[in-house]
Amino acid sequence: MDVTILTRMAEQIELNIPVHEDTYLRISEHLVKFWTPQMRTDFYQQVTKNRKDFSATLNKVVDELRAKANA
């Protein structure tokens, strides 16, 4: 899937989840539940290559997903 679409989807998810301390965890759970492993991998690669282009929350999301994958 096009990473531009994945990025837009992730940003929309972020905008629609109420802001709390654990917002990044809620987004991570959503991506695990509804996105395929390939979608998550593609998004992870896009964010890690361009961290400055993404919010702090989405950066925490990819870090959380990677930590869970390596656990």
pTM over 0.85: no
Inform me whether the pLDDT recorded for 15 exceeds 90.
no
Instruction: Output the furthest CA–CA distance in the chain (Å, rounded).
Output: 30
Tell me what pLDDT residue 21 has.
77
Tell me what pLDDT residue 51 has.
95
CA angle (24 as vertex; 7, 18 as ends), nearest 5: 95
Rounded Cα–Cα distance for residues 69 and 53 (Å): 23
- DSSP type of residue 21: T
Count CA atoms closer than 13 A to 22's CA, side-chain side: 4
Rounded Cα–Cα distance for residues 27 and 17 (Å): 8
> pLDDT by residue (tens digit) across 25-71?
999 999 999 999 999 999 999 999 999 999 999 999 999 988 888 76
- Stated length of the chain: 71
